[in-house]
């Protein structure tokens, strides 16, 4: 895989590319986890520093819309609800599971599930953002199609 955040030299040739960004219509999408990176969140006024997972999701809906959406999962007690949503959506923990459970991070890459995507505006630009991860029974029946 090519390194996307690598410095270039002034005289180094580049790969000419058009923007690959597609703004999705807000709604429900089937996703597949195409990339999973472990990182660290430095903390903020609202949340303490913690480990962080950055996921790249290939999202598609029944109308044929598809795009890549990045989302972050924070390993912080405040965010246990979102971790639970994600893993239940993918079927990596049972839908009715409650109480303590270990998260199977080794099974995240390639996992499929359902999510609700919304549009977020920041600095005058619009972006795709995962609003929530959906339990399989509440999601549309279409599977991911690349």
Look up the CATH number of the domain holding residue 118. Answer: 2.40.50
Q: Is position 9 within any domain?
A: no
Partners of residue 129 on adjacent β-strands: 118
Q: How many domains does the chain have?
A: 1
Q: Is position 117 within any domain?
A: yes
What are the mean pLDDT values of the chain's consecutive 10-residue runs (146 residues total)? 67 71 90 96 93 96 89 95 95 83 94 95 92 76 52
- Residue 138: what pLDDT? 46
Range of the domain at 64: 27-95+102-138
Partners of residue 127 on adjacent β-strands: 120
Q: Work out the angle at residue 73's Cα, subtended by the Cα atoms of residues 27 and 30, and round it to the nearest 5 degrees.
A: 30
Nearest to 73 by CA among 88, 94, 60: 88
Nearest to 62 by CA among 90, 24, 35, 92: 24
- Residue 48: what pLDDT? 93
Q: Is position 112 within any domain?
A: yes
- Residue 17: what pLDDT? 63
- Residue 106: what pLDDT? 96
Q: How far apart are CA 53 and CA 75, in angstroms?
A: 8
Rounded to two decimals, the pTM is 0.78
């Amino acid at each position: 895989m090519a390194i996307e955040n690598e410095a270039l030299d002034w005289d180094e040739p580049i790969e000419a590319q058009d923007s690959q960004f597609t703004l999705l219509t807000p709604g429900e999408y089937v996703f597949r986890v195409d990339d999973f990176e472990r990182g660290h969140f430095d903390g903020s006024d609202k949340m303490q520093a913690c480990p962080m997972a950055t996921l790249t999701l290939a999202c598609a809906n029944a109308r044929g819309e598809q795009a890549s959406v990045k989302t972050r999962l924070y390993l912080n007690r405040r965010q246990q609800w979102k971790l639970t949503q994600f893993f239940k959506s993918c079927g990596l923990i049972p839908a009715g599971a409650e109480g303590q459970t270990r998260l199977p991070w080794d099974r995240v890459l390639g996992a499929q599930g359902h999510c609700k995507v919304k549009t977020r505006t920041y600095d005058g630009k619009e972006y795709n953002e995962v609003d929530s991860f959906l339990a399989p029974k509440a999601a549309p029946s279409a599977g991911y199609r690349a």
